[in-house]
Amino acid sequence: MSRSAHPAGPRHADVLTEGHYAAPPADLNALDEKVWARTVSRDDDGAVTVGGIEVTRLAEEFGTPAYFLDESDFRARCRAWADAFGPDADVFYAGKAFLSRAVVRWLKEEGLNLDVCSGGELTTALDAGMPAERIAFHGNNKTVAEIERAVRAGVGRIVLDSFQEIVRVSHIAQQLGRRQRVQIRVTVGVEAHTHEFIATAHEDQKFGIALAGGQAAEAVRRALTLDGLELVGIHSHIGSQIFDMAGFEVSARRVVQLLTEVRDEHGVELPEIDLGGGLGIAYTSDDDPREPHEIAKALGDIVSRECEAAGLATPRISVEPGRAIVGPTAFTLYEVGTVKHLEGLRTYVSVDGGMSDNIRTALYDAEYSVALVSRRSDAEPMLVRVVGKHCESGDIVVKDAFLPSDLAPGDLIAVPATGAYCRSMASNYNHALRPPVVAVRDGEARVIVRRETEEDLLRLDVG
């Protein structure tokens, strides 16, 4: 593993043999467009702007730490996904990546649907005016109250995750005098090449019903016979932060195989398949994500080929990207508080946030990039570890990265690609106040989720 960093002179690149930090980038002032939101740039004076506003001004107005979200980038990504899949497919944004009422309105305006996985997400979606029929409701253990709320609201589909839930949703729908559209989530037995905690299609895990051993076929049998349910399709989600399309192709093939069996056994052609989300994004310059049109083509081709071979009409495809839409659109802005050089070991840069605003590094060993954004610097690169202010050694934001060696307290640094699963997984550890999310667009910035205050903390603590 890496160890190193001394404040001056050539950095210890010789002891680093792997990873994107093995050698410093040619120019630390350059911002790789792969990892930064589209309107982020650095002008000749060194000032970094997003949506036309200097980040130093944003820090003055909104404080740090804070997430800044490039609204036009978000909207452009929504449109790119919708255009790539076209009118015969559906794109459901996965709200777990990041959801707020403003986001729901943008999705609605850009023609996307929404995947929610809790009563809280459902409330946010409905409150912000997402039509219920454009909402899909997920989760491996939805409560009776959540199911009732979803059925009553008229959500477009509930994705059934277990045998018990098939009965539960049928029962609730009948009680409410409804026929609920449902899909069945299956596990297709694919080992996605991603972190263990975010791989979801191998059989040994909590989600879905296994294709293996005929379990999914049995689930279909039950869903087709129970009243209150209209089975419209099969769902598969193989994991997250995946670059290799092979897993999706195997998944699509196995789902179509199940559709074929269903047709042969029941004489029913299920009209929909959902292939889930999980497309990877660039966190560092080493990552090469696929574009939505490539993904749409790869999935569309495989599904139509398999269906043709089986003599099935091609079902309507849907996908559920979360990270791939919101991930690249935001960065987290921090102020440097301390810089600690450990001779021959490492340099620690402590910022005013940490694992409470980005748990992904600690939880998944995730890699991130970082840049000095409040000024330009032509100082030598130094290898650093960016850490937070929490009482825990594992409180790491960026494990290894190069920053200029004249970095000092008061400098602003930004970590790009934090739009997904950072604010949504943020915590109050050490009674930290969760940072705001500020949307920036065309020279205007507005808070879409405000910063927590100490009053918020005390309000929950009823004494």
Binding site for ligand LLP (CB under 6 A): 94, 96-97, 115, 138, 198, 237, 240-241, 276-279, 320-324, 360, 364, 420-421, 425
By beta-carbon proximity to ligand LLP, the closer residue of 208 and 315 is 208
CB of 369 to ligand LLP, least distance (A): 16
Distance CA 231, CA 252 (A): 18
**Minimum CB–partner distance for residue 367 and ligand LLP (Å):** 12
Min. distance of Cβ 438 from ligand LLP in angstroms? Answer: 21
What is the C-alpha separation between 112 and 314, in angstroms, rounded? 21
Complex with ligand LLP: residue 157 or 237, whichever CB lies closer: 237
Nearer to ligand LLP, 246 or 345 (CB): 246
Residue 51 vs 322, nearer CB to ligand LLP: 322
Q: How far is the C-alpha of 419 from the C-alpha of 324, rounded, in Å?
A: 10
User: Is residue 171 exposed (0-12), middle (13-18) or buried (19+ Cβ within 10 Å)?
Assistant: middle
Known active-site residue 391? yes
Nearer to ligand LLP, 365 or 444 (CB): 365
C-beta of 214: minimal distance to ligand LLP in Å? Answer: 23
In the bound state with ligand LLP, the residue whose beta carbon lies nearer, of 126 and 279, is 279
CB-nearer residue toward ligand LLP: 323 or 346: 323
Taking the complex as a whole, the smallest distance from the CB of residue 449 to ligand LLP amounts, in Å, to 18
CB of 393: closest distance to ligand LLP in angstroms? 21
> Please, what is the minimum distance in Å from the beta carbon of residue 7 to ligand LLP?
33
- Catalytic option among 117, 307, 391, 422: 391
**Smallest gap from residue 28 Cβ to ligand LLP (A):** 27
Q: 362 or 373, CB closer to ligand LLP?
A: 362
Q: Which residues contact 179 (CB under 8 A, 6 or more apart)?
A: 173, 228, 229, 230
User: Could you give the residue numbers annotated as active site?
Assistant: 391
